[in-house]
Amino acid sequence: MPSIQDELLPSTPGKFKIDHRGSHHRQLHRCFASTSTMFLWALFLIALTASYLSFQSFIDTGNRYFAASWGGIQWERQVRNSAQIHRSGGMSVLVTGAAGFVGTHVSLALKKRGDGVVGLDNFNSYYDPSLKKARKAMLQDHGVFVVEGDINDTRLLAKLFDVVAFTHVMHLAAQAGVRYAMENPNSYVHSNIAGLVTLLEACKSADPQPAVVWASSSSVYGLNEKVPFSESDRTDQPASLYAATKKAGEEIAHTYNHIYGLSITGLRFFTVYGPWGRPDMAYFSFTRNILQGKPITIYRGKNRADLARDFTYIDDIVKGCIGSLDTSRKSTGSGGKKRGPAPYRIFNLGNTSPVTVPTLVSILERHLKVKAKRNIVDMPGNGDVPFTHANISHARRELGYKPTTDLQTGLKKFVKWYLSYYGYNHGKPVN
């Protein structure tokens, strides 16, 4: 008979005594049974762990799938449709920052002439995202699909290049604004440097490599005093972190051109304005404040000199962007390796006739038929430069770029759009 101890205590393999007469078989049986029980338990635990892990990964995948606003068969179909080319010799363009001011206009113009366009935008809240959503809706009505995602998302970029063999990338996604760089410096590093590198990495690895056209800025001329600004002028004295990140972007772009054979064109935009514009810019916020009867702050330079900008109308900028895409020759790399020299170009896209900020305000007053409450203050040291003025002869020669809209005409179109979009008091009661 087994002792109580034997009954209660679990048998321990390797410790049973095989010389116990009469109980030998039973012990052997018990031992065998307990080993197989353990084995079954072990199997059960392994199965449990495996099913837990695969459930977790299912949840993860599911979460990723549902949380991300991209991916899936339907999404890929939308991307492909949007990228479809409808003219002979047309291009398929990935437009980053497509729900932004310039991005929307360029996407529409490309789509209208029969090129394939896929937009990408992260819809951040630097300014009212509802304006970006409205631009997206307009693009959607014209057959342009805008993917919601960030240029820092390597997987998304790889997926997009996997789904479409883009011939061109129009890179307009950026953290814009000169003065905001003092409030949120990291957002400039995130978008204008890290984001640019992530995008160029994707372009360099794509097969075929696309030609890249991207938005630099007139701000790279910084504190230069020689006017008008030419592309060959020095760009080593930026006045703001914004300008510094755009300057860094130009150097980064050059590196990718040099190492990987990417065809790259950088466009130095000069204070772009127009319908569907950016609410953070002076002409836009002045309009809002003037209509609401609020004062506007006008900065003044050294020795009470008025600040001046080479304000450039959006339609002219769009022509410059499309001219750049049309004339950009192919990238030469494949499999991430350079196979020959590729073009690296930089162009000023300005208007060539600077206007002072007080004159800008007077034009707005005329179009709005409301007098502004002007509050004139000395320019704070916040990154502004006193003036900008573009020499555009290089762009004229190479791209056929020829701006045709003066500030008076352009602001008239802007005000017309503004009033139709926001109404006369921008949603605020009139006093």
- Answer left, alpha or beta for residue 354, where phi above 0 means left and psi between -120 and 50 means alpha: beta
Q: Which of 104, 167, 192, 217 binds ligand UGB (CB under 6 A)?
A: 217
Q: Which of 299, 344, 417, 422 binds ligand UGB (CB under 6 A)?
A: 299
Query: Are the C-beta atoms of residues 218 and 348 closer than 8 Å to each other?
Result: yes
* 399 contributes a contact to ligand UGB by CB under 6 A: no
Q: Which of 271, 287, 324, 391 binds ligand UGB (CB under 6 A)?
A: 271
For ligand UGB, the closer of residues 95 and 178 by Cβ is: 178
Antiparallel, parallel or unpaired: β 168-171 and 92-96: parallel
For ligand UGB, the closer of residues 104 and 218 by Cβ is: 218
Q: Which of 139, 146, 357, 368 binds ligand UGB (CB under 6 A)?
A: 357
Stretch that binds ligand UGB, among 223-231, 252-260, 265-273, 389-397 (CB under 6 A): 265-273
Q: How many CA atoms lie within 13 A of 129 on its CB side?
A: 7
421 assigned to active site: no
Q: Whole-number minimum distance, CB 174 to ligand UGB, in Å?
A: 8
Angle between helical axes of 73-83 and 154-163 (0-180°, round to 10): 60
For ligand UGB, the closer of residues 307 and 364 by Cβ is: 307
Query: Are the C-beta atoms of residues 342 and 258 closer than 8 Å to each other?
Result: no
What is the rounded distance in angstroms from the CA atom of residue 72 to the CA atom of residue 66? Answer: 10
Query: Are the C-beta atoms of residues 278 and 217 closer than 8 Å to each other?
Result: no
For ligand UGB, the closer of residues 299 and 422 by Cβ is: 299
For ligand UGB, the closer of residues 209 and 219 by Cβ is: 219
- CB atoms under 10 Å from CB of 201, counted, come to 16
Stretch that binds ligand UGB, among 73-81, 254-262, 263-271, 338-346 (CB under 6 A): 263-271
* 297 contributes a contact to ligand UGB by CB under 6 A: yes
Choose among 121, 188, 197, 187: nearest CA to 154: 197
As given in the structure block, the two tokens for residue 23 are: 């109980």
What is the rounded distance in angstroms from the CA atom of residue 131 to the CA atom of residue 134? Answer: 5
Q: Which of 146, 267, 298, 407 binds ligand UGB (CB under 6 A)?
A: 298
Site residues (CB under 6 A) for ligand UGB?
A: 176-178, 217-219, 269-271, 281-282, 297-299, 307, 309, 357, 384
Catalytic residues: 242
